[in-house]
C-alpha cells in the first residue's frame, strides 16, 4: 500500500520569505507525485506533478518541488511567499491503480 | 478550469433522510470519482466509475451508493444520512485511472451537513 505524510499541519511565513512544505511518501512502485492547492471553499487545483522525468519540477505561481528517491521526499518550495499563497496544500502519491492524499498543510502568510 | 459542476453546493438535511449529490462533466473523461474531505484526513475515495454503469468501491464506501447512467453524470446517494456523513464531497474526473501519471481534476465541492 502507498501512503503520504505531510510533516507539518500548519506553516506560517511572512510575505516575501521562502516557503517550504514537507512531504514524505511510501510506495512499492515508481510513483507519480502531485501537489494540489485548495483555496477556501474551492476545489483542488494542480500545482505540479512528478512523473519520472526531471526530478526538479516547476509548477504554477512560482512553486517547485524536488523528487528525492533516496529520502522518499517530495517537498514543495517557493522563494518568496505572496499573500495569495495562503491556502491548504495537499501532497498526493499515485501508482498501481491507487492514489493517496496527505492530510494537508495549511499555509498562512503574514503581511 | 475543468468542466465539472457539482449540485447542490450546500445542503442541510436531517438524520435518516436520503440525499443525492450530482456531478456533471463536460470533458468526456472516462473516469469519475467521489471523495470526501474531513479535517486531518485529506481526501478519501468513496466510489469511482470507469465507464457507464461500471462502478467500484473506494476506501470509505459504507453508507454510500453511486450510479452512472451517462458518461457525463455521476450520482452519489446517501440512502439514510447520518451525522458522520457531514463532510465536504468532491467529484473528480480523469482520462486514466488513478495510479497513473494523468492529472485528476476536481469540482468545487458540495458541503453537506446532517443534523
Domains annotated for chain B, with CATH where assigned, are 4-114 (2.60.40.10)
* pLDDT value for B1: 59
Question: Nearest C-alpha of chain B: how many angstroms from A58?
Answer: 15
Per-domain residue ranges of chain A: 3-110
Fold of A3-110: Immunoglobulin-like (2.60.40)
Q: Give, as one character, the DSSP assignment of residue A62.
A: G
Do B98 and A99 make contact, defined as CB atoms within 8 angstroms?
yes
User: What is the spatial distance between Cα B65 and Cα B62, in angstroms, rounded to a whole number?
Assistant: 8
Nearest CA in chain A to B109: A43
pLDDT tens string A11-68: 999 999 999 999 999 987 788 899 999 998 888 999 999 987 788 999 999 999 999 9
User: What is the spatial distance between Cα A42 and Cα B90, in angstroms, rounded to a whole number?
Assistant: 10
Nearest CA in chain B to A29: B99
Cis peptide before A105 (omega within 30 of 0): no
Question: Nearest C-alpha of chain A: how many angstroms from B40?
Answer: 5
| Mode of pairing for the β-strands spanning B54-57 and B31-38 | unpaired
SS3 category, B32? strand
pLDDT tens string B33-52: 999 999 888 899 999 999 99
For chain B, say whether A25 makes contact (Cβ under 8 Å).
no
Whether the pLDDT of residue A83 is over 70: the answer is: yes
| Mode of pairing for the β-strands spanning B64-70 and B10-13 | unpaired
Amino acid at each position: 500500500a502507498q501512503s503520504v505524510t505531510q510533516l507539518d499541519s500548519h506553516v506560517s511565513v511572512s510575505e516575501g520569505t521562502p516557503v517550504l512544505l514537507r512531504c514524505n511518501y511510501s510506495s512499492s512502485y515508481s510513483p507519480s507525485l502531485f501537489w494540489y492547492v485548495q483555496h477556501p471553499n474551492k476545489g483542488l487545483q494542480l500545482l505540479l506533478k512528478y512523473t519520472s522525468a526531471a526530478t526538479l519540477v516547476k509548477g504554477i505561481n512560482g512553486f517547485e518541488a524536488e523528487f528525492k528517491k533516496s529520502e522518499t521526499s517530495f517537498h514543495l518550495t517557493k522563494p518568496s511567499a505572496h499573500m495569495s499563497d495562503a491556502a491548504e496544500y495537499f501532497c498526493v502519491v499515485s501508482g498501481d491503480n491507487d492514489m493517496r492524499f496527505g492530510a494537508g498543510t495549511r499555509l498562512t502568510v503574514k503581511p | 478550469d475543468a468542466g465539472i459542476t457539482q449540485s447542490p453546493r450546500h445542503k442541510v438535511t436531517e438524520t435518516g433522510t436520503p440525499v443525492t449529490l450530482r456531478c456533471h462533466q463536460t470533458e468526456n473523461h472516462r473516469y469519475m470519482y467521489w471523495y470526501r474531505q474531513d479535517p486531518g484526513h485529506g481526501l478519501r475515495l468513496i466510489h469511482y466509475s470507469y465507464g457507464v454503469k461500471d462502478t467500484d468501491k473506494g476506501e470509505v464506501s459504507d453508507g454510500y451508493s453511486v450510479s452512472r447512467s451517462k458518461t457525463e453524470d455521476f450520482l452519489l446517494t446517501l440512502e439514510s444520512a447520518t451525522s458522520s456523513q457531514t463532510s465536504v464531497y468532491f467529484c473528480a474526473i480523469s482520462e486514466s485511472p488513478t495510479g497513473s501519471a494523468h492529472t485528476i481534476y476536481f469540482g468545487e465541492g458540495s458541503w453537506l451537513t446532517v443534523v
